[in-house]
Amino acid sequence: MFTIGILASGKGSNLQAIVKHVQNGFINAKIGVVISDNPDAGALEIARSAGIPAVYIEPGKYRTFLENHQEKKYVECLKQHGVELVCLAGFMRVIKKNFFREYQNRIINIHPSLLPSFRGLEAWKQALDYGVRFTGCTVHFVEEDIDTGPIILQAVVAVFDDDTPETLHQRIQEKEHVIYPLAIKIISENRLIRIEGRRVIIDEM
C-alpha cells in the first residue's frame, strides 16, 4: 500500500486530519511513521494514540535546520518505514540535501497563505498586517528554497475586519484540514499527472 511519512513539530492538527481521513478510507494509504524534532510535540501523541510509529529524532545543534548527520537519520527512518511520500505538517525546520537526494519531487508541505504571498513564519499575521481581504492555504511541493515549490492545491479564506491573528489562523487551519488530506489522496491515487514548469497537472477524474 502507498505509504506516507509525516514530519511535524507542533500540535499536529493537520496530522490529526490526515489520520482521520486514512481511518475513514478517504485516503487509501498507510501512514508509515511520524517523526518530530520536538519530543513534546502533540503530533507524536496523536500518532501513538492511532497506533502509528512515532519517533523523536534529535535535530542537532542548529535552530532552523537539521544538523547533517541528524538529517541523515531522518531520511533513514523514513526509508526503513517504506515511506514513498514525505508530508511536512508544521515541521519547523528547513530540510536540505539528504531529503532531496532521496525524495526528489516526493516531499510536500502545507503553508498558511496563498503562495507566493506571505512566505515564511506566521503567514496569517503577515496577511492581516498587510490588509489583504483574502488569504488561505497552499499545499505545494518542497524545493530547497522556502515556500516556493510548484502548487498542488489552494483554498481561499476571507479576512474579516474584526479578525485577530488567532481567529484568522483558526479559519485557515479549518481549510488546511480539507486540502491537505485531499492532496495526499490525489497523489496516492496517482492522479497527479505531471509538473510542467511550475504548473501541477491533476487528473480530476
Identity of the residue, 57 or 155, whose beta carbon is nearer to ligand GRF in the bound complex: 155
Number of residues that bind ligand GRF (CB under 6 A): 14
**Does 173 sit near ligand GRF (CB under 6 A)?**
yes
User: Using CA atoms, how far apart are residues 180 and 111, in angstroms rounded to an integer?
Assistant: 10
For 50-202, where are the alpha helices, taking DSSP H only? 68-80, 97-103, 123-130, 165-188
The answer to whether 9 and 46 have CB atoms below 8 angstroms apart is no
**Does 165 sit near ligand GRF (CB under 6 A)?**
no
SS3 23: helix
Q: Looking at 21, 69, 81, 111, which residue is catalytic?
A: 111
The answer to whether 10 and 4 have CB atoms below 8 angstroms apart is no
| Burial (0-12, 13-18, 19+ Cβ within 10 Å), 120 | exposed
Instruction: Say whether 111 is catalytic.
Output: yes
Identity of the residue, 34 or 75, whose beta carbon is nearer to ligand GRF in the bound complex: 34
- Return the range that interacts with ligand GRF (CB under 6 A); candidates 28-36, 65-73, 107-115, 188-196: 107-115
Question: Would you state the cell numbers that stand for residue 61, as one nine-digit string?
Answer: 545543534
**Does 152 sit near ligand GRF (CB under 6 A)?**
no
Q: How far is the CB of 164 from ligand GRF (least distance, A)?
A: 16
**Does 149 sit near ligand GRF (CB under 6 A)?**
no
Q: What is the binding site for ligand GRF (CB under 6 A)? A: 8, 10-14, 89-90, 110-112, 137, 173, 176
